[in-house]
Amino acid sequence: MVMPVGAASFADALAMVAEIYRAAGAWMSERGRVAGVADEGGWWPQFDTNEEALQALVAAIERAGFAPGRDAVISLDIAASELITRDGRYRLALDGRELDRDALGALWRDWLDRYPIASIEDPFGRGRRRRLARVRARRRRPRADRRRRLPHDERSAHSQGRARREAATPRC
């Protein structure tokens, strides 16, 4: 997802997102990456790797005439609970690999350092706060951008108490 953080108003934000959406469609169409449109109206892309999706988002932001990281940022909902195998590893099917928790944390840190990601929701699965704390602590550029967040999971959005605790935790 993209977040139009540089928008001055809701109308500007809506216009920015619409322009980025159109740019993403054009970028993917030119490369044969569009499989269709999903039920919700979002693009149904075909990428070879998970990272290619991040590259596509950055390219779409730029193609729409905006600056990645300043005008628009990326927000990810990993849903890592769905990636966990029976032996506790994380299966990245698109990439054809399985990672342990440390390798997955290293992947998230690398992406946070190289892409304009402002938020990663559910990066390790539900109930894995210690792993999240390790990613926050080991970033190469800790606190480089105070707008970046690593929310724990969707439960934070459904509970005022959890949301308050999450807001009080150190940012990346």
At residue 35, the pLDDT reads: 86
pLDDT digits (tens, 9 = 90+) for 62-110: 999 999 999 999 999 888 889 999 998 999 999 999 999 999 999 999 9
At residue 72, the pLDDT reads: 97
At residue 152, the pLDDT reads: 45
Q: Please tell me the total count of domains within the chain.
A: 1
At residue 126, the pLDDT reads: 65
At residue 86, the pLDDT reads: 92
What is the extent of the structural domain holding 94? 2-168
Predicted structure pTM score = 0.76
pLDDT digits (tens, 9 = 90+) for 23-55: 999 999 999 998 888 777 788 889 999 999 999
- Cα–chain center distance at 21: 16
**What is the SS3 assignment for 73?**
strand
Q: How far apart (Å, rounded) are the C-alpha atoms in residues 31 and 38?
A: 19
Q: Which residues contact 149 (CB under 8 A, 6 or more apart)?
A: 118, 119, 120, 171, 172
Q: What single-letter amino acid sits at 44? A: W
Distances (CA, A) of 124 to 32, 67, 72, 129: 31, 29, 25, 8
CATH classification at residue 144 = 3.20.20.120
At residue 158, the pLDDT reads: 56
Q: How far apart (Å, rounded) are the C-alpha atoms in residues 23 and 82?
A: 30
Distances (CA, A) of 70 to 43, 47, 116, 141: 24, 26, 9, 17
Where do the H-state alpha helices sit in the chain? 10-30, 50-63, 101-114, 129-138, 155-158, 160-168
pLDDT digits (tens, 9 = 90+) for 121-166: 888 886 545 545 555 445 444 444 444 554 544 555 556 676 666 6
At residue 36, the pLDDT reads: 83
